A and B are shown apart, each in its own frame.
Chain A
Amino acid sequence: MKTLGRLEPTPELFSLPELKNYLTESHTLSSWLLTTDHKRIGLLFLFSIGVFFTIAACAAAAMRMELVTPPGDLVTSETYNKLFTMHGVLMVWFFLIPSIPSVLGNFVIPMMLGARDLAFPKLNLLSWYLFNIGGLLALYSIIFGGADTGWTFYEPYSSTFSNTHVVTMIAGVFIAGFSSILTGLNFVVTTHKLRAPGLTWFRLPLFIWSLYATSVIMLLATPVLAMTLTLVGVERLWGVGIFDPKLGGDPVLFQHLFWFYSHPAVYIMILPGMGVVSEVITCFARKQIFGYHFVAYASMAIAIIGFLVWGHHMFTSSQSIYAGFVFSLMSYFVAVPSAIKVFNWTMTLHRGSISFETPMLYALGFIGLFTIGGLTGLFLAALGLDVHLQDTYFVVAHFHYIMVGGMVTGFMAGLHYWWPKISGRLYPERMGQLAALVMFIGFNLTFFPQYILGYLGMPRRYHAYPPEFQLYNVMSSAGASILGVAYLLPVIYLIWSLKHGRKAPPNPWHATGLEWQTNSPPIKSNFEATPVVTGPPYQYPTEEEREMVHG
């Protein structure tokens, strides 16, 4: 019987080289494109989101180049509008939302649960195809002229006034939404029904809790976006609808429906990162998580309260001021579970035996950047202050701290943490640490000046600005180029490691968790025999045990 403790060498591990793993199982193209193996689908997603991330990052690079000088001299304002729309749409729906769930979640959730696959493997594959169809439609829209509405598709501009490819862009997002729904559905059912014997809810790794909460949001918020965007499309195509005031409609209703999805979607873009951090912090502090139940419940609380705060995007719309009060208050409430998580991670570090491998560096970066992003979110949740900061670079900086500083950093932490499991190879540790540091520096240099810019009143979404803002803009653009290098480095050394990296043992980090009890890379059905769980997660040695070992 296998337990959650440190791995005991078992006879089958010694016959490791002869075993076929999920990568060597078969080599044909169709064995990849028609696979129902969650691990392969995770890799397919990794490839797809990598492509979309690169394109969206190029749009960001173009914008930062434009903003080096005050006048709009590199691109026209129309092009600039299309650039930030492209950047926003691709990054939100085609990178951030599927990033950790569809890649890492797909890969490790069944293994963490001791299952052979997700509950609905074919739906999982369908999810990847829908994602790519949606992405191709969005790319079609971009290549044939782009859309200029911003990722928010605000009415009535998006339906009546914009002369760009809004409908194909919307259709792309609509279809990708169903990919997200199917992924969420799969995760929820798998977590409920496919847990290994003995794996009770409070023995689940916190990554599972956070992705469960994420899935609930995906399932309940995404359909609202789908229908809202459908209505925008109908209004645009046939000139009938309920949003354009000219037709007797209400554009603020659009904003309500849009943010009813899009605010919870922000939590789709941060909760999975929190899950990764909980795994990584415990592993590299070699300590049990502090306050397991609080961290688990905090994920659910964020998901639930996250549904009740959307109006804080609309303080300057015609929304009732009393509604504004409530939304402001609820937004402060959502800070509570977020803060609980940060406190608990910090307490986990306290008196831990910490080592600074790459995943840990990223995870520590996450905590810092997420805290800054979260605290500046409180500024924006304040009714009076938000009127000053609404639609300035302060907002841009705030959500980039959460989404890039938080989610992308979390994604990098997770990708490095599980890379030995995914590829069967170790990445070069020094290079990884270097990239993590460069990313932290580049990120802060890019986005911290934007807080100041926003506070000074520079509005977002403009390609020209008064000369007094130039210093901060140059700093930001310089930071962006450093950030670009920091993203390129892992791409290079991770691909390099596929061939030249050292072979990874089953559990290179000596981590707990069922995914480390199987080979690296795992066999197609993950486990030789269904594991049995006998204790809580994160059973790292206690302080006394460590002292006994180290004297």
Chain B
Amino acid sequence: MGTGIRTVELRKTFTSPPPAATPGRHLGFTMAGGLKRRSRKSVHVVALDGVSLEVRPGEIFGLLGPNGAGKTTTIGILTTKVRPTAGEAWIGPHEVWKRPVEVKRLIGVVPQTPNLDFALTAREILLFHGAYFGIGSAARARRAQELLERFQLQERADQLLLGFSGGMLQRLSIARAMMHDPEVLFLDEPSAGLDPQTRLLLWEIVRDYHRRGKTILLTTHNMEEADTLSERLAIVDHGRVIACGSPAQLKASIPGGFVLRLQFDATPPELLRALGALATVRELRPGAGGGVDLYADRGGALVGEIARLAALHQVNLHDLHIAEPSLENLFLHHTGRSLRG
């Protein structure tokens, strides 16, 4: 029987700088008061604003959202790194912040930025990790060898990590997380910075681990990854879950499925009315500066009619982008923003 994950109304407000998942990149946290102003004395960053999730035992569950949405903070709370301000987090039968040691026995964690022990060789990293979890020395050696082969690291197994490529570090990081055969595996942006080949290997490994009945929670801002890997996923933004379900369900929830992003030099009300009245257009959302998003059942087939309406109302159509049904559109639909920022 696998182990599930449950969170109830998790909240986290950082009063010191939060642990950035992606150092150096822009952090999109909601600052209290709506202004990105940081007082000299205290930082007040709302990272999670009531996150409730239920991950079933043995499920691959994805957390999809832009940088700073609260994905890493959620994982941090579930993996005993970040103490929640309010709410509950459960791994199987244990409440994380009441029984952290029991929880640590059940989980394996792959952080976004590798935190491997640079004082040790690749093999030693696995062996000591096994020892921390009380695995006997013979079993430890056997398992480390298996993982090194599986992750194509055997050639460099007895070297220190200096000179390992990013992909190798990431593979070793995943091997380490699997070393003690945890019931629940957390992968924080597992394929960030990986080449396509390694990414495929990673996906294969994740699926394989899943087939053994393990629960996997992964975060990503890569739609393809969320779509192909997860059985269910939650879309998070600004510390909240804005949608949750299987990728197919979520995609089906977008009106029409296709999104046509149009850019005119002006949008007179008659034009908007005419666009909204086009056949198969489900929803129309005017944006700032002449932008219009059309949610429709058709994509390219609408272009001719749109161009005709533009000419009729004497406005110029500058730009047009057609997106097919995808999680990206879903994100856009719920937040009005593109996932890629």
Chain A partners chain B: no
Binding site for A on B (CB under 8 A): none
